[in-house]
Structure 1
Amino acid sequence: MTRERQVWFWLIGLLLTLAALYVLSGVLTPFVAGLAVAYFLDPLADRMEALLKSRSAATALILLAFFVVVAAVGVALFPLLQNQVTGLVARLPEIVESARGFIEPHVKHLESELGAEHVKQIKDAAGGFTGAAVTWVGNVLKSLFLGGKAFINTLSLLLIMPVVAFFLLRDWDVLVARVDDLLPRASAETIRGQFRVIDATIAGFVRGQATVCLALGTIYATGLTMVGLDFGLLIGLATGLMAFVPYVGMMIGLLVAFGVALMQFSDLSSFLLVAGVFGVGQTIDAAFLTPNLVGGRVGLHPVWIIFALMAGGALFGFTGVLLAVPVASVIGVLVRFAIGRYQASTLYTGDAT
């Protein structure tokens, strides 16, 4: 097969894969979730296999412990979170009104300093960004909770995902070996090298960032509850989970917390305590969590991550959100590899030899 035909072969294969993902996105969620769980737990399964001398036993034990912990946390937190979500939604108009009353004097001051036209442009830009973000979040939530297939989707997650996770985790090393056997021999070592970089990138972000999110959610939820902020548990956990989107999650959580604080508190010290909780969380994150759990292995720009999450959610719903970071990692690694090859070529160096 000539090089031109190889390019067309892989391009057509990529387009067919994307088309299949789009068509099947409605049923892929439990399989993608199972794959994510298996990938997340594979290092632990390798260590347990060495102790138990059985991959199946190690897989069963790890998944049993994993799902028991998830179920226990869900059962413990669900009633509390349900009450706080209901209360927050009911009081949302009041929170918005309090925030508006706080912001309006500052807007008038800006109008006197910058002019009404410039302030209007800033408000329009901020409103457009907020509207786009709210629409994206709404579409993702709609794909999860609304529509006639919501019950089937939830049932498939509960029943199919653990089964998929078990078989993928049990056979992970076998599947990797089979994929390796299919690599073209002439380029096998180069492809293996790129796979190692992709694995390090995904592992550094997904495994590391997931741990960071859990730690930050615990810190924020505990701190906001201790300072007495209404809905502190909900806001703290949501802020921790949204930390998966760099910077944006923390800013949204901080704004919501200040909005609730405006309605609830009248003294400055309470606002300082709320700000202090976020300050402590960000300090711990910057000084310990991210350097040790994520480090510099990721190589994913925050803007690229945000775009990938929004594009994945818009194209494929919740399945697209799950696939966004891995796909962005693969594209990023391949682009860097292509740039390296280009800079080593005569097209870049200009050497005739």
Structure 2
Amino acid sequence: MLYWQALNLQVLAIMLDWLKKWYTNKFSDPQVVTLFLILVLGFLGIYWLSGMLAPVLVSIAVAYLLEWPVSKLCRMGLSRTLSTSVVVLGFMGVLTLVLMWIVPLAWYQGRNLLKDLPQMIELGRTYLLELPELLPGMVSDEQILLLMHSVEERVMAFGRQMLSMSLASLVNLVALLIYLVLVPVMVFFMLKDKAQLISGFVQFLPNERKLIGQVWHEMNVQIMNYIRGKMLEILIVGAVSYLVFYLFGLNYALLLGILVGLSVLIPYIGAAVVTLPVAVVALFQWGFTAEFGYLMLAYAIIQALDGNVLVPLLFSEVVDLNPVYIIVAVLFFGGLFGFWGVFFAIPLASLVKATAKAWSERLHPTESAA
């Protein structure tokens, strides 16, 4: 008995000694500790206060988006205040056009799509009931009926929820008006007083902040390029998809084009999910005909060009991550922060990578130089 107690104490001492050496090796540099604490406090603050800080997060994202044209106008000789005013007013004009023209049309098509859902479900039932004859012994009528009953319940519940949103929208109207007034004001001052805001924030950091500055400079450029590239990708993919759907005569072309454009917010997963409504609408409209095949082929070409041409072109300086890491980042940060976690999943994953790289270079400068 005493032997085993002595052995356990010896193992515990070895583990504590290993942990002490690991901590001393990894956290011996005060700048590393400071960077680690800032990242932890930032993540916790956003996690707990994301609801209250939602307008601030929206304003930061828009400010990053508009920083590029503001900088271009400043380099042309305009003052920072005038450049900011021109860009923000132009952005608000485009946003007003979208809210007054595109959104009502998409909403109208969405309501019509929900009204056609029962007929789509019935058509799907017809196709599925043919499976037992095509696949005897593998699929039974009972399984098909059970599946269709479950799908019908879920779809109809979703339809009722979407239709009831028109009543709840009156309550959300006040919140929307707050966003439409508060966010542009915050964006304007974030852009106009960018230097003052950054210098004010830097005052709270310790004097030794070379490592923090290295990570911040890299991530600032990446986030700016990412948001600008993501907005361009949404516009290009959405516009091309709408044009293709319109030329084919597909029902709800605008709504489906918007969904395809927004699907690029979630890498890989979004494209797979949005394929279902496109295929269902096309199947309901044409059945298993040549038009259905041609449309799905054109849709597949759009997705292939987006993933293999557009994304590398727009994000060549930003996305240097394995697809597995990107999917894990989407799931992890999306689970923590919701929509904003999904939207910033790639920059956040890049932040983790940049931090680990700077950390390693700080602790092993000789190996990094080699």
**Which TM-score applies when normalising by structure 2?**
0.72
Q: CA deviation at 1:282?
A: 2.8
Check 1:21–1:185 CA distance in 2 against 1; reply closer, same or farther (3 A cut).
Answer: closer
In structure 2, C-alpha distance between the alignment counterparts of 1:24 and 1:180, rounded to whole Å: 22
2:192 to 160, 164, 170: 170
Check 1:107–1:30 CA distance in 2 against 1; reply closer, same or farther (3 A cut).
Answer: farther
Aligned equivalent of 1:159 = 181
Do 1:29 and 1:318's aligned partners in 2 also have CA atoms closer than 8 Å?
Answer: no
Structure 2 spans left out of the alignment, 5+ residues? 1-23, 159-163
Aligned equivalent of 1:222 = 243
CA RMSD of aligned residues (A): 4.0
Aligned equivalent of 1:76 = 101
Output aligned runs, 1:13-52, within 5 Å: 14-52=39-77
**Amino acid across the alignment from 2:70:** A
Q: CA deviation at 1:38?
A: 0.8
1:331 equivalent to 2:356? Answer no
In structure 1, C-alpha distance between the alignment counterparts of 2:331 and 2:41, rounded to whole Å: 22
Output aligned runs, 1:100-119, within 5 Å: 100-102=125-127
SS at match of 1:245: coil
Do 1:200 and 1:298's aligned partners in 2 also have CA atoms closer than 8 Å?
Answer: no
Do 2:226 and 2:347's aligned partners in 1 also have CA atoms closer than 8 Å?
Answer: no
In structure 1, C-alpha distance between the alignment counterparts of 2:357 and 2:35, rounded to whole Å: 19
Aligned equivalent of 1:351 = none
Output aligned runs, 1:1-353, within 5 Å: 14-102=39-127, 150-179=172-201, 184=206, 186-188=208-210, 190-266=211-287, 268-286=289-307, 288-338=309-359
In structure 1, C-alpha distance between the alignment counterparts of 2:168 and 2:361, rounded to whole Å: 46
SS at match of 1:299: coil
Aligned equivalent of 2:14 = none
In structure 2, C-alpha distance between the alignment counterparts of 1:204 and 1:106, rounded to whole Å: 49
Do 2:266 and 2:342's aligned partners in 1 also have CA atoms closer than 8 Å?
Answer: no
In structure 1, C-alpha distance between the alignment counterparts of 2:170 and 2:39, rounded to whole Å: 31
In structure 1, C-alpha distance between the alignment counterparts of 2:364 and 2:126, rounded to whole Å: 56
In structure 2, C-alpha distance between the alignment counterparts of 1:223 and 1:51, rounded to whole Å: 38
Which is greater in Rg? 2
Do 2:241 and 2:260's aligned partners in 1 also have CA atoms closer than 8 Å?
Answer: yes
SS at match of 1:230: coil
**Amino acid across the alignment from 2:355:** L
Do 1:245 and 1:305's aligned partners in 2 also have CA atoms closer than 8 Å?
Answer: no
Check 1:249–1:13 CA distance in 2 against 1; reply closer, same or farther (3 A cut).
Answer: closer
In structure 2, C-alpha distance between the alignment counterparts of 1:267 and 1:248, rounded to whole Å: 26
Using the aligned pairs only, state the percent identity: 27
Do 1:224 and 1:277's aligned partners in 2 also have CA atoms closer than 8 Å?
Answer: no
Q: Deviations over 1:280-332 (max 9, x none)?
A: 42344245422322225322444444444444454444454555444333223
Check 1:147–1:89 CA distance in 2 against 1; reply closer, same or farther (3 A cut).
Answer: closer
In structure 2, C-alpha distance between the alignment counterparts of 1:173 and 1:96, rounded to whole Å: 57
In structure 1, C-alpha distance between the alignment counterparts of 2:236 and 2:132, rounded to whole Å: 36
Do 1:28 and 1:319's aligned partners in 2 also have CA atoms closer than 8 Å?
Answer: no
Structure 1 spans left out of the alignment, 5+ residues? 136-141, 349-353
**Which TM-score applies when normalising by structure 1?**
0.75
Q: CA deviation at 1:204?
A: 3.7
